[in-house]
Amino acid sequence: MFRKLKDSRKKEIVFFFEGKKLTAFDGETIASALLRSGEIFFRESKINNYRGPYCMIGICFECLLDVDEMQSVQSCQVTVKNNMQVKRHKVSNFSL
């Protein structure tokens, strides 16, 4: 589905998802970097359904992740930063 395009002009940066070291292109969103790395489960709904990015334009809120010290971050709208710590969004953190 998602794959890394060879582009020697793009700088690669390192970030961490659930403690696992991953790479992203400078300027890439968190959601696209994770999807390209094979990660499709971003959070769990209150009824135990696994959720992941859907619209990739910031409308659906299915791509919520916890990023560094912030909770409920729309990962399709945030650019990956070097050494960023990203975790799955926990159900107990989510409230409507």
Kindly report, residue by residue over 35-76, the tens digit of the pLDDT.
999 999 998 887 878 899 999 999 999 999 999 999 999 999
Domains in the chain: how many in total? Answer: 1
Look up the pTM and report it. Answer: 0.85
| DSSP summary character for residue 11 | P
Kindly report, residue by residue over 9-33, the tens digit of the pLDDT.
679 999 999 999 999 999 999 999 9
Say if 46 falls within a structural domain.
yes
The residue ranking higher by pLDDT, 7 or 33, is: 33
**Residue of 84, 94, 70 whose CA lies nearest to 29:** 84
Say if 20 falls within a structural domain.
yes
Q: Does position 83 have pLDDT exceeding 60, yes or no?
A: yes
CATH number at residue 23: 3.10.20.440
12-17/85-88 β-pairing? parallel
| Cα 16 to Cα 45: distance, rounded to the nearest angstrom | 23
Residues spanned by the domain of 63:
12-89
In three-state secondary structure terms, 54 is coil
Beta bridge partner(s), residue 21: 16
